[in-house]
Amino acid sequence: MEQLAATIAYGLYLALIVAGGLAAVRCRNLVRALIGLIMTLFGVAGMYFLMAAPFLALMQILIYVGAVSVLIFFAIMLTRTSGGEAGNENPQRRTGLREVLAVASGLLPAVILAAIVVGQAPQALPLKPEVPLAGLGQFLTGPYVLAFELISVVLVVAMAGAVLLGFERRKGQ
Amino acid sequence: MNPLVLFHLAALLLLGLGLYGITSRRSLVGMLIAVELMLNGAGLAMVASARLTPAADELGQLGALLVMGLAAAEATLVLAIILVVAKRWGTSDSATISSLRG
């Protein structure tokens, strides 16, 4: 029974990921592509829930859906492509050969890696008990402390760089 | 099928979609969306590997969390770069800005 429910949930999340991902890469309108990306992000969060990692699923919704997608929306609204209106991609030069090459470049690495994954997969263990949040925090301040500190530095540098790039330099100053 | 393989195949699907998107998209914002897809696939694969094999659980989960932080930093920087490009060339089309003409 539990197995069946897990399979159904997996199928549901996979459908979300596939539909959202296709919308994200195919839609000419970038706002629709962003909605597709958000759908995919929710699907991935569902998969984290399915693997009994609820903290990560909530972080996925908080960071990706809450912050990153808003940033991308700003990028869409603050730029305009040569088609004229903001959010629409230039429809020219979508030739057949280009599409075929793009599909090949996406499919080839994925299929090679999929063949390796299917061929070499180790026996999956039954799902381990959920890691308590305190355990994650202790790991973050223990073995991962350098990465933890470095990511703060990276975030500060990225934000400062973004502010510097977006800074308007006035003439004569 | 093995659940580990199933989760890895979902992650590979995201990788393939992202690679297709980054090569077929004409605008920088579309490419950014495709990169986010690929980063999500990476996180999913890491968590699946940590949860369903004897590896330490925290390793994969915190690794995926760090990937999320890096994705946020990268999105901020790319937003600023796109704004600068759009200000200078008037468009965020990848074909326009690849020309060397003044």
Fill in the DSSP letter of residue A94: -
Task: Decide if pLDDT at A21 tops 90.
Answer: yes
A9 shares its domain with A62: yes
One domain, residues A77 and A146: no
Domain boundary among A63, A89, A115: A89
Q: How far is A124 from chain B (nearest CA, A)?
A: 5
Number of structural domains chain A divides into: 2
Identify the band that residue B26 occupies on the pLDDT scale cut at 50, 70 and 90: confident
Lowest mean per-residue pLDDT among A18-32, A111-125, B27-41:
A111-125
Structural domain contains residue A45? yes
**Contact at 8 Å (CB) between A17 and A44?**
yes
- The answer on pLDDT for A173 being more than 50 is no
Does residue A121 lie in a domain region? Answer: no
Q: Is A104 part of a structural domain of the chain? A: no
Alpha-carbon separation of residue A6 from A50, A51, A145, B40, B65 (angstroms): 7, 10, 35, 21, 24
**Does residue A157 fall inside a structural domain?**
yes
- Is the pLDDT at A19 greater than 90, yes or no? yes
Q: Which of A35, A58, A89 is the last residue of a domain?
A: A89
Q: A43 in a domain, yes or no?
A: yes
Residue A1's domain is classified under what CATH number?
1.20.120.1200
**Domains, chain B, ranges and CATH?**
3-91 (1.10.287.3510)
Residues A81, A135 within the same domain: no
How close, in Å, is residue A137 to chain B by CA atoms? 9
Give the number of other Cβ atoms within 10 Å of residue A129's Cβ. Answer: 7
Q: Which residues of A touch B51 (CB under 8 A)?
A: 51-53, 127-128
Token look-up 């959010």 returns A87
Identify the closest residue of chain B to A128 by CA–CA distance: B51
Instruction: Domain of residue A65: give its range.
Output: 1-89
The answer, for A5 touching chain B at a CB cutoff of 8 Å, is: no
Angle CA B30–B31–B35, to nearest 5: 120
- List the single range of A24-28, A43-47, A120-124 with lowest mean pLDDT: A120-124
Is residue A105 one of the residues assigned to a domain? no
Is A116 among the domain residues? no
Query: Residue A140 and residue A149: Cα distance in Å, rounded?
Result: 10
A84 and A137, same domain (yes or no): no
Q: Do A72 and B14 touch (CB under 8 A)?
A: no
With contacts defined as CB-CB under 8 Å, which chain B residues touch A102? 20, 23-24
